[in-house]
Copies of this chain bind each other. A is one copy, B any other.
Amino acid sequence: MNLNYIIPNEWSIIEEGFDKTQATASESIFSIGNGAMGQRANFEEHYSGKTFQGSYIGGIYYPDKTRVGWWKNGYPEYFAKVLNAPNWIGIDVKINDEQLDLNSCLAQDFYRELNMKDGFLKRSFKTTLKNGNQVAVESVRFLSLDINEIGAIKYSVTPLNFSGEIEFTPYIDAGIKNEDTNYDELFWEVLDIEDRDNDAVILSKTLKTNFYVATGMRFSYELNGQTIKLPHTVIEGEKRIDYTSKKLIAIGETLSLIKFGGYCQSMNHTEDELISCAQNNLSNAATIGFDGLLKKQKEAWAKIWETSDIIIDGDVKAQQAIRFNIFQLNQTYSGEDSRLNIGPKGFTGEKYGGSTYWDTEAYCIPFYMSTKDKEVARNLLLYRYNQLDKAIENAEKLGFNSGAALYPMVTMNGEECHNEWEITFEEIHRNGAMIYAIYNYVNYTGDYNYIPEFGMEVMIAVARFWHQRATYSNAKNQYMILGVTGPNEYENNVNNNFYTNYLAKWCIEYTAENLEKLQNEFKADYDRIIETTKLSDLEIEAWLKVANLMYFPISEKHNIYLQQDGFLDKEIIPVSELSKRDRPINQKWSWDRILRSCYIKQADVLQGMYLFENNFEKETIEKHFDFYEPITVHESSLSPCIHSILAASFDRMPKAYEQYLRTSRLDLDDYNHEVHEGLHITSMAGTWSAIVQGFGGMRNFDGQLSFHPQIPKEWKSYSFKINFRGSTLKVYKNQTECVFTNESEIPVQIIVDGVEKIISKNDLVTI
């Protein structure tokens, strides 16, 4: 996809003209979702060209057999894989008996729009078939936020140069397979097909995991906007059911098919009520009607935007990009269900097994915390709490004991889904992110009760892991963490990664500190936890010894922390001196060459200083930024946002803006030539942070909200809102001033550029 393929627009993603080579990329970009399900922007009608068909249901996975070169002890046997679900959007269309297929006839005036304001996907085009018939086609599709088991399509055909027969065949098809499978196994079994007069439901279940899913559709017709009845014939296949209707219409008339569809699944209903549940949903949707549902959709999105919109004035592409990021995050996770999480590709592709990475804790929590009610972030924390047993099992597999937990690198149900030893077994810093997210949540929301209720058990299990994972070095009389991969995955099996060691030390100290607080202030919870975890003072002492004697690699010459032991033995050549031929190095270089180079994939030492900014002098962080940023290649989508935030904190706005640009339009401009595989959902939260924490300078250490607002010179103004402990604070910044408005009842005490302010209800404070 090229840089200017998407038409700039403040509220919509727009494609004009149909380019077959972009088809799979557009399918990703125009994806829709409602937190419970989602789908790529596949055409409803048949398309014989290159396409990547994808519909996904939150939480539904399949344990694909792990594929490795050489098996190693501790690898997961199975790999929970995001599963392509039955297709309910399909509509075959014939015009005077000729199949409509944009791969075999030329599309004119092709227009596709992802309307982010109202939450629907629209497509229209004209085309002339081989038989000479010219038609205009329009489809509007959305997945309801209101009834999250339902989606709706209105598909209209208008003959432009003839009167003739239009045939529609709406269908549902459970005979789907994954793009991405290890052994080409079948994932679904069809159990039942129920067809009634104008609805049909296919009941199928996933093999091995036994998720039951009822996929349904219901349809009706309109001629020129008036409901009409059409007879139909039904063809029931083994895994598919088709309802064909045809009608002779005159030139200029419009025949529309209204199709409702969606899924009821066994995570939310008992198996035996799934079919009737699907039928009820469909009849309910039909009663509300397409327009009624769409109206509710607009209202629901208006409510989301009310709290989460960021307005940028003076840069349409930046405006479009930030809204795209916020829109996709909201499409992926709505926050009501603590069994779901934020997949790296959301509902837009199936690359990577599992739905949950440390991205959630390290990058996504701030977005959901600030733009939603605190329950949403709390549900994300509970997801990990509910998987604690599996994390303990996972640690046991690797030889740890006594209740130590290692959270998986990638997971769906708590089990590890990754199978490279250097990641699965070594990228253990993720364990620290679990605790940081608890700290972040409690700090931001003030909901301390989460720790005695749930958090402390996770904290203890993780502290136990760090204690056992550290090695006492006789040579240095300090504790070391050997054989790890840090956030910078361009290093494997290194010793004493600064980020990992720092996080380990902090986790232990934070846990010990809060244990003390619990003992004093939450005695009943404390006693329960001590009893459950069999924790002794002696054990805590042993943890603290590790924390107190933790080793950190430093360079005396440069007066910096080293990313890991021996880092300075590498040849340090700035990225700017690399030939263009060599970039991106992950596509151009062999793995060993990457490993022994100095190049950093994503913030590592800097990631640690970003998370614990309050523990370092600004000059110290800046010194590290100046050392590490020039050798960082940002080949992870999670890298530029952190650098943008830090650069802004040093008042280096040009650098901050440069890094912001890299993150904000990553998918829209397809920087990495991989958008056809799906969107980079989790890094979108980083883009949000780059504005709010970067340009806005929002921080919240020790429960104190503070700002240091700046603005790129390229923009006229921007504004965002945050939800903070029940109040809604709006921040507006232009080139000359900054305005804080409190849209709630509760006054907020903030610090702006070092000066304390109290913003009360409807106050408008200009700085």
Contact = CB atoms under 8 A, between A and B. Distances in A.
Interface of A: 66-70, 72-74, 397-399, 419-422, 425-426, 471-476, 480, 482-483, 492-495, 557, 565-566, 568-572, 586-593, 595-596
**Which among A425, A557, A590 has the highest number of chain B CB atoms within 10 Å?**
A590
Contact of A69 (B66, B472, B476, B588): B66
Contacts of A557: 475
A590 B68 contact: no
Nearest to A423: B70
A425 B565 contact: no
Best-buried of A66, A492, A493, A570 by chain B (most CB within 10 Å): A493
Contact of A471 (B425, B483, B596): B596
Contacts of A569: 471, 473, 475-476, 480, 482, 495, 565
A591 B425 contact: yes
9 A-B pairs with the lowest CB-CB distances in the bound complex, closest first: A74-B590, A425-B592, A483-B596, A482-B596, A72-B591, A473-B569, A398-B590, A475-B568, A493-B493
Contacts of A592: 74, 398, 421, 425-426, 483
Contacts of A570: 471, 473, 482
Given A73-B588, A492-B493, A588-B73, A473 B568 contact: yes
B399 A474 contact: no
Contacts of A586: 73
B399 A589 contact: yes
Contacts of A595: 482-483, 493
B471 A69 contact: no
Nearest to A73: B590
A571 B472 contact: yes
Residue of A426, A572, A591 most packed against chain B (CB within 10 A): A591
12 contacts: A67-B67, A67-B69, A69-B69, A74-B591, A397-B590, A398-B590, A422-B493, A492-B492, A493-B493, A493-B595, A495-B566, A566-B566
Nearest to A399: B593
Contacts of A471: 569-571, 596
Given A72-B591, A480-B569, A495-B566, 8 more contacts: A67-B68, A70-B420, A73-B587, A475-B569, A482-B569, A483-B592, A483-B595, A483-B596
Contacts of A420: 69-70
A627 B68 CA distance: 35
Contacts of A476: 569
Contacts of A421: 591-592
Contacts of A70: 420
A763 B68 CA distance: 60
A593 B404 CA distance: 15
Nearest to A72: B591
Contact of A568 (B474, B572, B591): B474
Q: Which of A74, A475, A592 is the most central at the interface, judged by chain B CB atoms within 10 Å of its CB? A: A592
B69 A590 contact: no
A593 B67 contact: no
A541 to B, nearest CB: 20
A357 to B, nearest CB: 15
A255 to B, nearest CB: 48
A570 B471 CA distance: 7
A591 B68 contact: no
Nearest to A590: B74
Most buried by B among A74, A476, A572: A74
Contacts of A565: 565-566, 569
Nearest to A472: B571
Nearest to A569: B473
A109 to B, nearest CB: 41
A587 B153 CA distance: 56
A47 B131 CA distance: 66
Contacts of A74: 590-592
Nearest to A70: B420
A174 to B, nearest CB: 27
Nearest to A425: B592
Q: Which of A69, A425, A471, A476 has the most CB of B within 10 A?
A: A69
Contacts of A483: 592, 595-596
Contacts of A422: 493
B398 A593 contact: yes
A553 B66 CA distance: 39
B73 A591 contact: yes
Contacts of A482: 569-570, 595-596
A458 B471 CA distance: 43
A471 B398 CA distance: 34
A562 to B, nearest CB: 10
